[in-house]
Structure 1
């Protein structure tokens, strides 16, 4: 048996003698990880200055070891959780241990497919409202920012799904506060501690604090009115309020409800919107895929709005979304910290806050050993036959293991319904000369938005 190598012996780029690869990580992270794995294999070490090392893994087998087989060894880094805590509190994203298990157990029934089926009508209804607004535009020659449009749409859907409340209006302070809070959280995550402390009244800190105050007041008010019986709804909030721990009989406190609904608010809004934006970009670049998708919609729906019962017959639309998630996974990187020493891919991983194990779905999804011609957009990769041939963790846009995203079924139901509704009424085209580039922040979004030409298929009646 081969003895494990030390971390210092792990393969990886040398980088700058002092800074290592920190500048590349800051300015070109996707290319840094792709190039490193292409040159050095499925496990690479990247130095981030003199003290920090990233250990990046890019094979389904190593991903399984970290995310699935050893959840008690690899936990989320405290620095990551501290950055997100002001916004999501102690919700599913940031909690750990027994408390996380209890909350997950309480929330899981609300996300069973049968429960989510009752929400599909509001997904379609919100989309139809957006399309009517598009139809009423005075000129189709003016581009629309599809990234912003998808953000607005998914915010409307998740607001109605969570609270039976539409929070998406442009005059509504919630949408603006959410955008500021997300930007502030992103800045915290990427600043590596080099930022003004919270108590310093910088313009960024004040804006972040005001945004959190707005969101808290809205969410707590919704919870209070629901508890008082002033509002009703067969929504996720009602399910969470009714949820009872099977062992203790406990229900969630108002603070727990706030933290969990805020987590779901963000996860069900930002990530899905980015994936949908990338999907429209890819469809515009591949008219043969769009034509096949449109044909599936026409033959399945014959002009009527899509329903939950149609989803099994809109299989190609689902494959398009799955292939989009392969090429542009919104959660493009996961970070873990070893709580105790481990051996990973023949390399000893110390239990140290200075060694962070990362998995980038963006890179795993481009592993040529698993994905032939990885940069090619090919929704048929996700046909049942071809999917059965692949390792299960070759595709992980929703994470893996016990911390698999609780809303994965929500997104996989929402996307085909939105896609079908749009294709029935519009054709989306790229703006000539506009370069679309990914921006890897907390999520992978199109840099500077995604202007597109939105052409009605039929003249307004």
Structure 2
């Protein structure tokens, strides 16, 4: 029993409401980091009428992420539900459990490995259009590339036209809207805008296209071996039932958003970090030359590319794709001996934990070699979790890591990406952590 047993979190120090609203709206990442450093491991934060609680003790974080019944997805997920419906990212309870069980087999390692060749092939296609000395926005390039890959793996279609092109257009419009809408809501502006209408039209286009594809496959009985086909064929072991059209639509939307946003952003930040650190880029070159000898990387090569993998892991530490997770207490409970009222939103920040000097020496420094010698295994649970943790850890974690390493290796063999001087690269935390105005690079032949 702790000395603070039964005390309310409101007895703890935290920022006053006016300061919290202003500073969070200006820079949520800096605000959360500042709260952790100033107030400690449990920080009550009042924003408008809502009580939040920032957790920075790994044990507390692990407690919340493990108990999916006591701590459920918070209300801030409601906005995302307008796009993802009741997919794996947003659903709860027994429905989530069933969907997770049904979807799990399609992410078996052997199935995921089969997509490695597609990932490399599409990257090589992109490189055919690149020319030395060209200047381009590497974030836009990575977004387009990973969207191409996810459309191929889900629908077995290119986005050059047809159904996959419609879906890609709808998702891009939706994600751009989320960035604008989140910023507006933080500023307290709920005014309807033309962007809202474009978003609504995008959802209609997404629904019409995906439902039509599902119906066509049901009518012909030709489900295919892509991710959509596998989702359509999988049966519940208990009653033999399959996913409804609505469930399929929601899981497909979730796979698209999670499948291309995460990898694209990770790679974008990785290219920026490599551009800022030519010594690390040189070490990456050495490994790629020694292992691949100019050949395209394959699944079999991944185990022989530890430094390339460490570059991705370090990029995910410094610039986690998702900067924070939120959970809501479904009943009164205790964390760290303090009483947490029912309805309190618990904020768990990858951004804060990944930059914590208690666990990472020189946390702001890009140092891939920190991950050598199984460093991750020495960290307490709840310190490094770019894909979440607990029963709701990202189901596509292996897919995303494999894709990021393969794409980085394929591109790095052909070009060095030099950052355009004097550009301002801003972080834009929304659904994912994006570079606000992109990242401009100049292509240099290797």
TM-score by length of structure 1 reads 0.91
Q: Give the superposition deviation at 1:12.
A: 1.6
1:342 paired residue among 333, 347, 350: 333
Residue 349 (structure 2) pairs with residue 360 (structure 1): yes
Q: Give the superposition deviation at 1:53.
A: 2.1
Aligned to 1:10: 12
Inter-partner Cα distance in structure 2 for 1:4 and 1:143: 59
The root-mean-square deviation of aligned C-alpha atoms, in Å, is 2.0
Inter-partner Cα distance in structure 2 for 1:432 and 1:231: 52
Aligned to 1:405: 394
Matches within 5 A, 1:57-456: 57-68=55-66, 70-77=67-74, 79-135=75-131, 140-167=132-159, 172-189=165-182, 191=185, 194-196=189-191, 202-229=193-220, 233-352=224-343, 355-456=344-445
Inter-partner Cα distance in structure 1 for 2:161 and 2:435: 23
Inter-partner Cα distance in structure 1 for 2:286 and 2:226: 34
Inter-partner Cα distance in structure 1 for 2:443 and 2:80: 36
| Structure 2: gaps of 5 or more residues | none
SS of structure 1 residue aligned to 2:129: helix
Inter-partner Cα distance in structure 2 for 1:188 and 1:435: 23
Inter-partner Cα distance in structure 2 for 1:242 and 1:266: 22
Inter-partner Cα distance in structure 2 for 1:184 and 1:28: 19
Q: Give the superposition deviation at 1:208.
A: 0.8
Number of equivalenced pairs: 441
Inter-partner Cα distance in structure 2 for 1:332 and 1:360: 6
SS of structure 2 residue aligned to 1:25: helix
Q: Give the superposition deviation at 1:260.
A: 0.3
SS of structure 1 residue aligned to 2:374: helix
Q: Give the superposition deviation at 1:385.
A: 3.4
Inter-partner Cα distance in structure 2 for 1:156 and 1:115: 19
CA contact (8 A) 2:223 2:232 kept: no
CA contact (8 A) 1:153 1:168 kept: no
Q: Give the superposition deviation at 1:158.
A: 0.5
CA contact (8 A) 1:6 1:347 kept: yes
